[in-house]
A and B are shown apart, each in its own frame.
Chain A
Amino acid sequence: MTGTLTQAPAAELTPDALLDAYRTMRTIRDFEERVHEEFATGDIPGFVHLYAGEEASATGVCSHLDLRDAIASTHRGHGHCIAKGVDVMGMMAEIFGKLTGSCRGKGGSMHIADLSKGMLGANGIVGGGPPLICGRALASKLKGDGGVAVAFFGDGASNQGTTLESLNLASIWNLPAIFVAENNGYAEATSSTWSVATDDIADRAAAFGMPGVIVDGFDFFAVHEAAGEAVARAREGGGPTLIEVKFTRYFGHFEGDQQLYRADEVRNARENLDCLKVFRARVTGSGQLTDDQLDQVDQEVATAIAASVVAAKAAPKPGADDLLTDVYVSYQ
């Protein structure tokens, strides 16, 4: 049942929806490029994994979701957060470890979450999200609220038992769950062409009795169409889908990664495949949007990201009073 989508139609998207999608992708790109710069200054503590280059995946999938729906993310989670509507000001402050952060500075880059937006968290454990998504999908199914749940995970997590168990569970329980395998070619420094036994991750869908589809991850429209079919099927009780999104990440596994394991594939991707460039060419070529409209979004996003960094740097750090709070709802 594995198929490949290319050159998906953009016709069903309104100009406003296209602008929203572009704004989301541009916000993710600017956010990540700026975090990359700020990390280099030494102001950002800890581990940071950037999503730049992969924007079309989170955006194409989440453009079908609303507040009934939940997503689980990965250590490379900033893009999923932004696409699911998490506030950028809080995210940036969180990455800087500030009290005004999404998680009051207690989570950091790998644990940004906003449950009020259905964002169940970036996750420091590879393969941590798929079981949780089975549960969210089960909750929606039992409550009958029409919600779907989406697990984003990487090619590395596609080899984790949690992921494979969850594909099986979602299938036998016929859950409104969608599994998005973001194959950026590398699990840390290890190539997915070596670590994944099948030619494609999507091939594994057949083993769990669900549709599997491969999409060009640089093409928002391809992701959008594949996700649209999967979300519609899930909402109608048709069960789970595995979508493999193929692309490359623009930065290393983590900030500081010298990337000696890979060739100069990023330059080609940035120049010729980049999702923002592809999107712009597509929608201006079709006359659906103008360059001026997109340029204006670029300006607005740049202003917002710059403001988020200024605010994050100025915000207070959590203090001793915060160390012991929020371990439990109650604990006597």
Chain B
Amino acid sequence: MARSITYREAINEAIAQEMARDERVIVMGEDNAGGAGSPGEDDAWGGVLGVTKGLYGKFPGRVLDTPISESAFVGAAVGAATGGLRPVVELMFIDFLGVCFDQIFNQAAKFRYMFGGKAVTPVVVRTMWGAGLRAAAQHSQSLLSVVTHIPGLKVVAPSNPYDAKGLLIQAIRDDDPVIFAEHKMLYDVSGDVPEESYAIPFGEANIVREGSNGHADVTIVAIGRMVNTALEAADELASSGIQVEIIDPRTTSPLDTDTILESVENTGRLVVVDESNPRCSLATDIAALAAQEVFGSLRAPIQQVTGPHTPVPFADSLEDLFIPDTTRVAAAVKTVVDHVG
């Protein structure tokens, strides 16, 4: 039965249900319990934003605090995955890829191919991404394109609580290494989530808004938090008679290219909304895909709505300018609609 819970609670519930179902699932990360070696409570934090709170008591010995040694403990999760466990390791911020990337992209991602198909590395790296928390340049990035680029990794970016639970359950059950990217601005967003366990397959995009009566003028592909921004823009645009179909890929690797291309073939217009930096990004990737595969269907140049080619700034006045908003999305949609070919 569904009830309304937050994105944070949905993630916690997914981990708890999988830990109860499969004793091979363990959790590790900085302050994931939050009390190791301290005189106070053992489960003091439950992760820096409380996502893993309560798991420590429910699953004794299976929620491990780590030192601030991302290379060692992310690598340990990878090694444990080759040894029969199914670790869910938390990389507190995706920005911290910089201190442990080797273990992810040179080790975990490559084992299966490099070892001739004999390795199975079922590790999930949960990590917080995205701008909006005034966390500045080293705690706000959207490095999904960096991990999506790597063969051997799967990359998941849920945009709502329902998807967060179902995709995380799939990630834990999946036999490949998965980067599970949780947008920090979505943790307190609520939505209907079934109590029972369910898995959402990877590589299946969600059409979160269809046009009107089977008709849409424009396809928007939006990633993560930008799905909500696109939805708000679509409401405004509908009042001026422009119908938008919004596709949330949910996983950027694998990417559901069929759903995206089919929609673009129908609408003839594409806007990609991604809060990351613009170069070599998911936006350029998806735009190039459509340009190559359905060029003949396009009625206007593809528009990309992204952050600028800058680090994420601190000052709220600047960060708000960095992050794509409904005005910019709506303007891009109007540009493609108004294009005269």
Residues of A within 8 A of B (CB): 70, 72, 101-107, 111, 113-116, 120-121, 123-125, 128, 130-140, 142-143, 149, 161-162, 165-166, 168-169, 172-173, 325-332
Contacts and interface: CB of A to CB of B under 8 A. Distances in A.
Contacts of B61: 142
B112 A327 contact: yes
22 contacts: A102-B115, A103-B116, A111-B114, A115-B82, A115-B118, A128-B103, A128-B106, A131-B76, A131-B78, A134-B76, A135-B75, A135-B76, A135-B79, A138-B85, A139-B79, A139-B80, A142-B85, A162-B102, A168-B69, A169-B72, A327-B112, A329-B174
Contacts of B107: 123, 125, 128, 131-132
Which 8 A-B pairs have CB atoms at the shortest separation, nearest pair first? A131-B75, A135-B79, A139-B83, A326-B117, A132-B79, A103-B116, A165-B72, A104-B116
Given A140-B83, A142-B26, A162 B115 contact: no
B77 A135 contact: yes
Interface in B12-71: 26, 61-62, 64, 66-67, 69, 71
Nearest to A147: B83
B162 interface: no
Given A132-B75, A172-B67, A115 B119 contact: yes
Contacts of A138: 76, 79-80, 83, 85
Contact of A332 (B79, B87, B114, B254): B254
Contacts of A106: 113-116
A74 B24 CA distance: 28
Most A CB within 10 A of own CB, among B61, B66, B115, B174: B115
Given A131-B76, A134-B75, A169-B72, A115 B176 contact: no
A136 B103 contact: no
Contact of B82 (A107, A124, A132): A132
Contacts of B136: none
B340 to A, nearest CB: 39
A140 B85 CA distance: 10
B153 to A, nearest CB: 9
B166 to A, nearest CB: 16
Contacts of B80: 135-136, 138-139
B81 interface: yes
Contacts of A173: 64
A322 B104 CA distance: 24
Contact of B79 (A136, A142, A328): A136
Contacts of B78: 131-132, 135
Interface of B: 26, 61-62, 64, 66-67, 69, 71-85, 87, 102-103, 106-107, 111-120, 151-152, 154, 174-176, 201-204, 254
Given A116-B118, A328-B112, A139 B75 contact: no
Contacts of A102: 115-116
A139 B28 CA distance: 13
Contact of A162 (B75, B113, B201): B75
B63 to A, nearest CB: 12
B202 to A, nearest CB: 7
B115 A136 contact: no
Contacts of A140: 83
Contacts of B67: 165, 168-169, 172
A135 B115 contact: no
Nearest to A105: B116
B120 A329 contact: yes
A104 B115 CA distance: 8
A120 B62 CA distance: 24
Contact of B151 (A104, A107, A114, A327): A327
A102 B119 CA distance: 12
A192 B103 CA distance: 25
Given A168-B67, A169-B72, A135 B83 contact: yes
B116 A125 contact: no
A134 B87 CA distance: 13
A161 B203 CA distance: 36
Contacts of A130: 72, 75
A221 B123 CA distance: 39
Contacts of A125: 102, 106-107
B175 A139 contact: no
Contacts of A123: 107
A77 B107 CA distance: 16
B113 A169 contact: no
A172 B106 CA distance: 26
Nearest to B61: A142
Contacts of A135: 75-83, 85, 87
Most B CB within 10 A of own CB, among A113, A131, A139: A131
B159 to A, nearest CB: 20
Nearest to B84: A139
A162 to B, nearest CB: 5
A328 B69 contact: no
A162 B203 CA distance: 34
A326 B69 contact: no
B71 A121 contact: no
